[in-house]
Structure 1
């Protein structure tokens, strides 16, 4: 079943952004420590797949899901 949560577009200012940073910028987590733990626990989904790499580079169009919320990287 597809996720029906709305997607928030979050600007990365045309740059690549790392997954841990994006979780914070998008307001999906409150701190870097929370981002690190969520990723380590396998709770973060990128483009439909669990990703355990905090340093994963995201680009415009990538969709990140965590705790029932979704955010898309935009320019």
Structure 2
């Protein structure tokens, strides 16, 4: 599991995916989230603008990333 530091208390899921280089555009994030390819804390979460907080774990392409 890789820890990814963020500034502030939270970050939107799409922004987080851009930060770690998993996506390039917001449209790509939306499509992958809606397709169930991205898990947040082990579950599919398709809410628009999903906020992540420290300790949340995002799984994408088999890699686990913890918000730190």
TM-score (norm 1): 0.80
Q: CA–CA distance in 2 between the matches of 1:57 and 1:23?
A: 12
1:30 to 21, 24, 30: 24
User: Which consecutive aligned stretches of 4+ in structure 1 deviate over 6 angstroms post-superposition?
Assistant: none
**Which ranges of structure 2 fall in alignment gaps of 5 or more residues?**
none
Report the 3-state secondary structure (helix = DSSP H, G, I; strand = E; otherwise coil) of the residue aligned with 2:23.
Answer: coil
TM-score (norm 2): 0.87
Q: CA RMSD in A?
A: 1.2
**Which ranges of structure 1 fall in alignment gaps of 5 or more residues?**
1-6
Q: Which has the larger radius of gyration?
A: 1
